[in-house]
Amino acid sequence: MTAVALVMHWQVAVAVSIGVAIGILVGGLPGLTTATAIAIVLPFSFFVEPLIGLPFLIGLYKGGIFGGSIPAILIATPGTGASVATILDGPALVRKGNGRKALEMALYASVTGDTASDVLTLLLVVPFAAAALLAGPPEMAAILFAAIVLTIIAGTTSWLRGAIMACIGILLATVGRDPLEFGQRLTFGMDILEGGIPLLPMLIGLFAIPELMRMIALRKSATGRIPPPVDPGPGLTLGEFKRAGRTIARSTFLGSIIGIVPGMGQPVAAFSGYAMAKRASPRPEEFGRGSLEGIAAAEAANNAVNGPTLIPLLTLGIPGDKITAILLGAFVAHGLRPGPQLVEQHGPVILAILLAMLLSNLLLLVIARVLIPAVARLVTMDPNLLAPIVLVLAWTGVYLYRSDSSDLFFLALFGVLGVLARRGKFDLAPMVLAFILCESLEYSVGQTLNLARDGVLEYLLLDRPGAIIILLSVSGVALWVGLSEKRSLS
Amino acid sequence: MLNPACLFLILVTTFAAATLAALPWAVDSPQPLFGSLVSVLSPGTFPAAAALGILVFSVIEWVRRSRDGEAEESSLQPALERRGMVVVILLVALSALSFDSLGYVLTLMLASAALAIFMGCRSPVQLVIVCAGTPTLIYWVLTRVFTIYLPAPG
C-alpha cells in the first residue's frame, strides 16, 4: 500500500508522460537510439527525486521501444534495434494502404505485451530478491561472471569480438582505486583518472558520438528523405485485434522469458516471437507480405522484454542490455544500488517504480495515439537540424554529471572508441556490461579467495556447490555456442 | 588500406600490450594490515587478466579473419565519416578548453553552429533557432528551474 501511495502523485504521472513522449519522438527518429537518449538525459534526472527521475527514464525506455516501430512501418527504417523485425510486414501493409492499421496494431500489441510482462515482473521481483539474498560471495562472483559470458555469447554476432570487448570493459574498469586494497591502479599519476573512468561521459561518448557520425554520413543519403504515406487508410478493428490475441499472448510469454536472461534483449525477442507466430499461424504465407499478426508478434515480444529485464537488474545488479546498463547508473546515482539487498532495504520505492511502469503503459496508449501523426512527419526530419541538438544535449549531459569540463575529454576519447568499434562491427554491450560489473566481480572474487584460504576448489566443491553449478552451466552454454559457431563457419 | 576491424584490433592490442608492460609500476603494491594482507587477490590480477584476454582473443580473431578472408564493408560513407569524426572530436576538445572561459551558452552555440554548417545547413533562421535556441533554452531551464550551476562567460 505504501508503494501505491508513493506512485499516486501527479508529479510521477507528469514525469512518466514526459518520458514516454520524449521516448516516442526519439524512437521515431531513425538517427537517434533509445540507449543514446537515455544516456544523454540521465544526468538531468539526478536533480529530481528517485520516484520522479527513475519513472521518467523508464517511460522514455518504453516510449522509445514503441517509437522505433513508427519509422520501421512507415519508411522501412527501424528507429531502434528492437523494431527490426517489424520491417518485415510494416512497409508491406503501408503499400497496401493499411498504414494506420499497422501502427495501431503495433501500439496495442506493444502495450498489451508490456503490461502483461510488467505484472509478471511485479510478481517475480520479490521471490527473486529473496533467492538472491541466499547468494554469498562465491555465488555472486559466479552469477556476475555468467552474466558477462551470456552477454558475449547471446548478445553479439561473434563471441570472439564480444570477448575482446568484455576484456576492454574490465581493463577500463580497473583504472582508479582497487576495490579491495584501495590502492591506485593504472592512473599514471593523472588526477583525472584517480576516481576511475566516469561512467556517464563514457556511455555518452560510446553512444552519442557514433550517432553524430552516422547523421553526418547519412546527410546525403536518401534514408531520411522518404516521404511518409499520404493516406493512412482505415483503423484497426476489434476483430482484427482479437484474431492476433493468441500471437500476442505467445510473444509476450516468450519476450518475458528472454527479458529475464541477460544479454538477449529486444531484437532477439522480436525475431523469436515473429518466427514462433509464423510457425503457429494457419496463414504463414502472409508473413513478410503485410501480415498484421507479424507486426503483433514482433511488437508484443520486444515490448515484453522491458519489464522482466529489470528483474536481474534490481535483484542481482545485472543489467540485461545496454539500456538497463545505463538505467543501473541511474539507480546508483539516486542512492538505490541494485543487488540482493535492494528490495529488502528500499522495497516500497522499488515497488512504486514498478507500479509506475504499469502507469507508463497506460500513458503510452494515450500519448502515442496523439503523437503518431507528428512522429510520422518527424521521421523525415533533416539530420542537419537533429545533429546540433544531439551535440548540445550530449555536451550538457556530460557536464552535468560532475560539473567538470575535463569530462568532455572522456567524451572525445570514448567517442573515437565507439566509432571505431561500430565501424569494425564490435558490439559495445559486453564492454559496457563488463565495465559496470567489474568492481562487484573483483570484490566477490577477492572475498571468495579470502574465505577459501585453504584451497579454492575444495571450498567451492564442498561448501559452495551452487557457484560450481553456475560456472559449469555457463561453460557448457559457451562451449555449445562456440562449437555451433565453428560448425556454421565450416 | 586497413579496414575498420583491423584498425580497431591493432589499437586495442597495442593498448593491452602497453598496459601489460606498464603494470609492474602502474599498480600500487598491497599494504599489509596488522602483518597480513587484506586480500589474497593481488590488485594487478584483474588488469593483467583483462589485458592478456584482449591479446589472446585479438590474436585468435586476427587468425580467423586472415584464414576466412573476411571482407567487411560499411554501409556509410567512409571519407565523409572520417572528416566528420575529426570535426566532432575537434569540437569536443575545443569545447572542453573554452567551457569555463566562454561559458555554457556561447560554447555550445558555436559548437552546434559549426556542426550544422559542416553538415550543410545554410539557413540563418534554422541556425538561430536550433543552434542559439537549444543551448539558451536548456541553460534557462537548468539554471532557473532546477537552480543548477552552469558556467557563464568570463
Q: Is B3 helix (H, G, I), strand (E, B) or coil?
A: coil
A390 contact B CB<8A: no
Residues B85, B41 share a domain: no
d(CA A249, CA A109): 9
The amino acid that residue A88 corresponds to is L
Residues B58, B84 share a domain: no
pLDDT along chain A (490 residues), means of 10: 74 89 80 76 81 88 85 71 76 81 90 92 88 84 86 75 94 88 83 85 83 72 48 78 90 89 76 84 82 90 89 84 81 82 83 88 89 73 76 83 83 88 85 86 89 78 84 84 65
Q: Residues of A with CB below 8 A from B115's CB?
A: 212, 387-388, 391
d(CA A361, CA A16): 10
Decide which of B40 and A287 is more confident.
Answer: A287
Do A423 and B26 make contact, defined as CB atoms within 8 angstroms? no
A479 contact B CB<8A: no
Residues B103, B59 share a domain: no
Domain end call among B15, B43, B68: B68
Is A232 inside a domain boundary?
yes
Is A75 inside a domain boundary?
yes
Q: Is A486 helix (H, G, I), strand (E, B) or coil?
A: helix
Do B88 and A163 make contact, defined as CB atoms within 8 angstroms? no
Is B97 inside a domain boundary?
yes
DSSP state of B143: I
d(CA A103, CA A439): 43
Q: Residues of B with CB below 8 A from A163's CB?
A: 53, 57
B45: containing domain: 4-68
d(CA A27, CA B80): 25
Number of domains in chain B: 2
- Of A393, A442, A445, A435, the C-alpha closest to A197 is A435
Do B8 and A426 make contact, defined as CB atoms within 8 angstroms? yes
- In the block, cell 515484453 appears at A304
Residues B139, B100 share a domain: yes
Residues B60, B22 share a domain: yes
Is A159 inside a domain boundary?
yes
Is B153 inside a domain boundary?
no
A258: containing domain: 2-451
Is B20 inside a domain boundary?
yes
Number of domains in chain A: 1
Residues B108, B61 share a domain: no
Residues B55, B91 share a domain: no
Q: Which residues does A323 contact at the CB level (< 8 Å), separation at least 6?
A: A34, A35, A38, A61
d(CA A105, CA A300): 10
Which residue in the set A160, A425, A453 is minimally distant from B64, CB to CB?
A: A160
B143 contact A CB<8A: no
The amino acid that residue A59 corresponds to is G
Which residue in the set B58, B88, B108 is minimally distant from A209, CB to CB?
A: B88
Q: Which residues does B79 contact at the CB level (< 8 Å), separation at least 6?
A: none
B70 contact A CB<8A: no
Compute φ and ψ for A177, nearest 5 degrees.
-90, 140
Q: Could you tell me the pTM of the whole model?
A: 0.78
The amino acid that residue B31 corresponds to is Q
Is A41 inside a domain boundary?
yes
Is A142 inside a domain boundary?
yes
The amino acid that residue A212 corresponds to is L
Compute φ and ψ for A291, nearest 5 degrees.
-100, 130
> In this structure, are residues A413 and A193 in contact, taking their beta carbons and an 8 Å threshold?
no
- In the block, cell 499478426 appears at A293
Domain end call among B15, B46, B68: B68
- Of A252, A257, A256, A251, the C-alpha closest to A274 is A251
Do A453 and B146 make contact, defined as CB atoms within 8 angstroms? no
| Interface probe, candidates B36, B81, B92, chain A, greatest A C-beta count within 10 A | B92
- Of A430, A455, A460, A489, the C-alpha closest to A161 is A430
d(CA A52, CA A19): 10
| Sequence-ordered alpha helix ranges (H) in A219-309 | 238-243, 245-260, 265-280, 292-304
d(CA A344, CA A366): 34
Do A212 and B88 make contact, defined as CB atoms within 8 angstroms? yes
- Of A79, A74, A73, A75, the C-alpha closest to A35 is A79
The amino acid that residue A77 corresponds to is T
Do A174 and B50 make contact, defined as CB atoms within 8 angstroms? yes
Cell of B133: 535556441
- Of A418, A396, A320, the C-alpha closest to B111 is A396
Which residue in the set B54, B68, B108 is minimally distant from A168, CB to CB?
A: B54
Give the number of C-alpha atoms closer than 13 A to the C-alpha of residue A146, restricted to the C-beta side: 23
Residues B86, B50 share a domain: no
DSSP state of A49: -
Which residue in the set B81, B91, B130 is minimally distant from A213, CB to CB?
A: B81
**What Rg, from alpha-carbon coordinates, does chain B have?**
24
Is B154 inside a domain boundary?
no
d(CA A326, CA A36): 9
Is B73 inside a domain boundary?
no
Cell of A480: 555449445
d(CA A253, CA A259): 10
Length of chain A in residues, anyone? 490
> In this structure, are residues A245 and A276 in contact, taking their beta carbons and an 8 Å threshold?
no
Residues B140, B82 share a domain: yes
Domain end call among B42, B68, B94: B68
Residues B55, B27 share a domain: yes
Residues 439-458 in A contacting B (C-alpha not used; CB under 8 Å): 442, 445-446, 449-450, 453
Q: Residues of B with CB below 8 A from A445's CB?
A: 41
Give the number of C-alpha atoms closer than 13 A to the C-alpha of residue A70, restricted to the C-beta side: 26
Q: Residues of B with CB below 8 A from A157's CB?
A: none
> In this structure, are residues A294 and A88 in contact, taking their beta carbons and an 8 Å threshold?
yes
DSSP string, B68-133: HT-----SS-HHHHHHHHHHHHHHHHHHHHHHHHH-HHHHHHHHHHHHHHHTT---HHHHIIIIIH
Please report the ipTM that was assigned to this predicted complex. Answer: 0.87
Residues B44, B91 share a domain: no
Residues B135, B98 share a domain: yes
> In this structure, are residues A378 and A28 in contact, taking their beta carbons and an 8 Å threshold?
yes
| Three-state secondary structure readout of A67-105 | HCHHHHHHHCCCCCHHHCHHHHCHHHHHHCCCHHHHHHH
Axis-axis angle for helices B4-26, B45-68 (nearest 10): 160
B137-146 CB contacts, 8 Å cutoff, 24+ apart: B138/A392, B138/A393, B138/A396, B139/B104, B139/B105, B142/A396, B142/A400, B146/A47
Is B23 inside a domain boundary?
yes
Is B152 inside a domain boundary?
no
A96-101 CB contacts, 8 Å cutoff, 24+ apart: A96/A290, A97/A231, A97/A233, A98/A233, A98/A234, A98/A290, A98/A292, A99/A73, A99/A74, A99/A229, A99/A231, A99/A232, A99/A233, A100/A232, A100/A233, A100/A234, A100/A235, A100/A236, A101/A233, A101/A234, A101/A235, A101/A236, A101/A240, A101/A292
Is A458 inside a domain boundary?
no
Is A480 inside a domain boundary?
no
Is A162 inside a domain boundary?
yes
Q: What is the pLDDT of residue A189?
A: 83
Q: Is A463 helix (H, G, I), strand (E, B) or coil?
A: coil
